[in-house]
Copies of this chain bind each other. A is one copy, B any other.
Amino acid sequence: MFNFSREETDKLKEQLKVKGYKLTPQRRAVLDILLENEGKHLSTEEIYDLVRSDCPEIGLATVYRTLQLLERIGAICRMNFDDGCNRYELVHKNEDHQHHHLICKSCGSVEEVEYDLLETLEKKVEEKYNFKIENHSVKFFGYCEKCRNNVNND
């Protein structure tokens, strides 16, 4: 229990201490679930369900609070896929921008696109509109390869 990644836990502990927050078993358990489910874009409710198998006494409100906290300290980032709930993704070391996403309108799959394709565009926008970009949210909606092979959406 709470033994997924000592390295990550130590890093979290460090980040929390700096800001005056405490490291609780609940917070460790939420982090572990996020580590175990990298790349899955879990919602708060989904995280709550998963974390309860390790930590059955945890309350839903604590999960909400923990996710807010982790977002505030920059450990995770929140994303909105317009499905009525917040979803979260671990922020990787050395990443200051989040990925962008390809969302399939047929099967709902979410694929991540590397950032570098967007870099040129951001520079152009900053110049043309004299706007200092700090972050972005980029979603492309369409049909993935698999779904285009099954039915004919092309």
Of B125, B139, B143, B145, which is within 8 A of A136 by CB? B139
With a CB–CB cut-off of 8 A, which chain B residues contact A72?
Answer: none
Contacts of A138 in B (CB 8 A): 136-139
Q: Cβ of A124 < 8 Å from any Cβ of B?
A: yes
Q: Chain B contacts of A142 at CB under 8 A?
A: 131-135
B140 contacts A136, C-beta separation under 8 Å? yes
A16 at the B interface (CB under 8 A): no
Task: Give Cα distance in the complex from A57 to B148, angstroms.
Answer: 47
Query: Given A82-B80, A136-B138, A137-B138, are A145 and B130 neighbors across the interface (CB < 8 Å)?
Result: yes
- Select from chain B the residue with minimum beta-carbon distance to A101: B137
For the complex, is A102 an interface residue (Cβ under 8 Å from B)?
yes
CA of A141 to CA of B79, assembled, Å: 14
Q: With an 8 A cutoff between CB atoms, is A19 at the interface?
A: no
Does chain B have a CB within 8 A of A111?
yes
A50 within 8 A of B: no
B102, B104, B124, B132: which contacts A117 (Cβ < 8 A)?
A: B124
A153 to B132, CA, bound (A): 9
> Considering the chains assembled together, what is the distance between the CA atoms of A104 and B128 in angstroms?
16
Chain A 97-125 interface 0/1 with B at a Cβ cutoff of 8 Å (1 = within): 00000101100000101000110111011
Nearest-Cβ distance from residue A116 to partner chain B, whole angstroms: 10
Listed in ascending order, the chain A residues whose CB lies under 8 Å from chain B are: 80, 82, 102, 104-105, 111, 113, 117-118, 120-122, 124-125, 128-145, 148, 153-154
